[in-house]
Structure 1
Amino acid sequence: MNLRSVAVGLSALMLFSAGAQARSLFDIVRVPLEHELHINTYSPDDPISLYSAKQQQPTFDACADSFPDEKPFDLERISVKLKPMALCSDSFAVLYSQASKTPLVVVERLNAAVLRDAKGEERTNDFYPDPRIPKSGRAELSDYRGQVQTDRGHQAPAADSPSPKAMAQSFALSNMVPQNSINNRKIWSVVEKDVRKFTQRAGGDVFVFTGPIFDEGHSTIGANKVWVPTRLFKLVYDATSQRAWAYILPNAETRIERPVDYETFVNTTGLHLLGNLPVSGSISRS
């Protein structure tokens, strides 16, 4: 496949519209979380049990609330060459590619309450191939085994997981890209921490879009030829202040750079991920 960048296949994304987030009864009456009740409804030895029947369907119906204005990506507007697929988890949504065998965009809805629940959640490190994806379109653990200076890089960070099940789901390979080890453990870790610091101070929901960019000439790993990104991005949208900014960093040992505004992000990547949502400004690195 000769793609100049995966952004070519996604550049038509105009997927969201502005609108106030409706409050529900659950914003007022707090329902105990599953881990607070000490109830486990899944088995780590059977990954499909991590997902509800609705989450096992290849649609965004089970996680529309992960997107601004609850308007998910329209798969019909994604290049068929990328073989797109919708995947839902408890705390994030994945626009997945069965061509690259990686996520294209992972979306999280974060806020201070979510991060309070996530704080102290035990990291499992139990990686697994996503059982919802046909074997012909997914990465396997063997693809990453023995790769020098290559991590299974989370797109939705494990540290954002507000429950044991969400933590377990975050280790699906459908949430991973082959990432330079130093980048993942140092620079990208700082980016993730910066986003959490901002979210903890924000007045409401913060939507985070994370994904790879595959520029022409990108490499692959493993028998399943999992695409290795040349760059990574993290776009942040504060729904309350309507500010947006993004990090775009090479997938290599590098130094952190100041975030760019949304217009620069779109011009650099071709990704119109916020569609028609109002964007009133940007922010400097916190």
Structure 2
Amino acid sequence: MASKRGKMKHFRPVLLLAAGVAVYIGGPVGYYFLPWSVRRPIYKTAPKLDRALRLRGFKTVEGWDGLGLWGRDCRTALEGRSGGEHVYGGNPSQGLKLFDRVTVLKNESYIVGYSDSMQNPLWVAYRVFDVPSLDSGKRPSSFRIDQRTEAKVPSTAFRGSGYDRGHMAPNHAIATRYGVDGQRETFLMSNVVPQTPRINRYIWKDLEARVSRRYGRYFSEVWVVTGPVFSEPVDRLDSGVAIPSGYYKILVDESGDALRVLAFLVESDCPPYTRIKSRLVSVDELEESTGLDFFPRLSESVQAEIEVQPAGRLWPWLVPAIRYSVHP
């Protein structure tokens, strides 16, 4: 009996430590998933505590999602190499849902499908790849009119509107792959859409960082096509720039002998602390929302495999053994 008590006494610090870790991690995670009706009294009486617990729980869940330990990839057999310098599977085909003409603007570091009537890029395509350094250097201080467009949206078009000038080809991803000249290209107004600060500075920024700092670093090449989504009736800034109702991003990777895709839709009213994984959708859904046809140069059979179903997980990037595996 005494020996059993001695063993329990020996393991007690370990058990207490394990319990403490469980509470430290599990408490905020549990709080993160509480419905607003339960959280509301805490938020009203202790808003800083509410935000701190939500943020800690959110970061824990986001980190777990990022491991991609379960869920299926949206993938199919690779029929042939279809990736270009910036675009995978051909430029998105012009749609007629909300705009009448798309002008393709070619830059050294990315390509834009621009609508003068909407005064927005409808799609922007670029490619990321591994680089020795992720130092993007000094950020340019101002945006510039793109003289190739008819709209010639000025950098002051968003002033006083409450909207950020949201990059579609991101400053960091392009600067680290194409240098200063490429970085300057991202500050053309043809690469910018209205985004609320809540979107631009949080979930969209996190998604861009995941692509640039993780996927672009740990996989050989990742092609990206991204842009705004509009819903009727379309609201506009006082300057005439159309305001999106959401934003999409499609990632393509050739992993071994397979082609895989991630597609995201982030609504403009997306609440704070929204998990990136929860924004996964199918390419078909994005085509319905945007009126665009993505990957027009891929065969119908390949498109059917990668466009109908959404991915069930984010791409694993931390553990090499599971990066390309498929989990049921």
**TM score, norm. by length of structure 2:** 0.60
CA root-mean-square deviation? 2.6
CA distance in 1, matches of 2:104, 2:288: 26
1:243 and 1:264 map into 2 onto residues whose CA distance is 17
1: CA distance between counterparts of 2:237 and 2:108?
29
Q: Distance in 2 between matches of 1:97 and 1:268?
A: 16
1:87-106 paired onto structure 2 within 5 Å: 87-106=105-124
1:233 to 248, 268, 291: 248
> Any unmatched runs of 5+ in structure 2?
1-77, 316-328
The worse-fitting range, judged by mean Cα deviation, of 244-253 and 173-182 is: 244-253
**SS of 1:184's equivalent?**
helix
- Does residue 158 (structure 1) correspond to residue 171 (structure 2)? The answer is yes
Structure with the higher fraction of residues in helix conformation: 2
In the TM superposition, residue 65 of structure 1 has moved relative to its aligned partner by: 2.4
- CA distance in 2: counterparts of 1:90 and 1:154, whole angstroms: 16
List per-residue Cα deviations over 1:49-105 (Å, max 9, x = no partner). xxxxxxxxxxxxxxx621125x3356xx44494331111112110000010011000
Deviations, residues 4-54 of structure 1 (Å, cap 9, x unaligned):
xxxxxxxxxxxxx963269xxxxxxxxxxxxxxxxxxxxxxxxxxxxxxxx
Please tell me whether residue 68 in structure 1 is matched to residue 68 in structure 2.
Answer: no
Q: Give the distance between the partners of 1:117 and 1:142, measured in 2 at CA.
A: 33
Q: Match of 1:201?
A: 218
Q: Which amino acid in the other structure matches residue 164 of structure 2?
A: D
Change in 2 beyond 3 A, CA 1:256/1:218 = farther
Larger radius of gyration: 2
C-alpha displacement of 1:141? 1.9
Query: Is the CA contact 1:101–1:139 (under 8 Å) kept in the aligned structure 2?
Result: yes
Q: Which residue identity lines up with residue 211 of structure 1 in the other structure? A: G
The equivalent residue for 1:285 is: 314
Structure 2 equivalent of residue 222 of structure 1: 238
Aligned pair count? 219
Counterpart in the other structure of 1:4: none
- Superposition map of 1:1-286 within 5 A: 19-20=80-81, 65-68=85-88, 71-73=90-92, 77-79=94-96, 81-113=99-131, 116=132, 119-134=135-150, 137-148=151-162, 150-161=163-174, 162=177, 163-196=179-212, 197-202=214-219, 204-223=220-239, 225-240=240-255, 241-254=258-271, 255-258=274-277, 259-266=280-287, 269-275=290-296, 276=298, 278=302, 282=311, 284-286=313-315
Secondary structure at 1:220's aligned position in 2? Answer: coil
Alignment TM-score, normalising by the size of structure 1:
0.68
Greater RCO between the two (CA within 8 Å, min separation 6)? 2
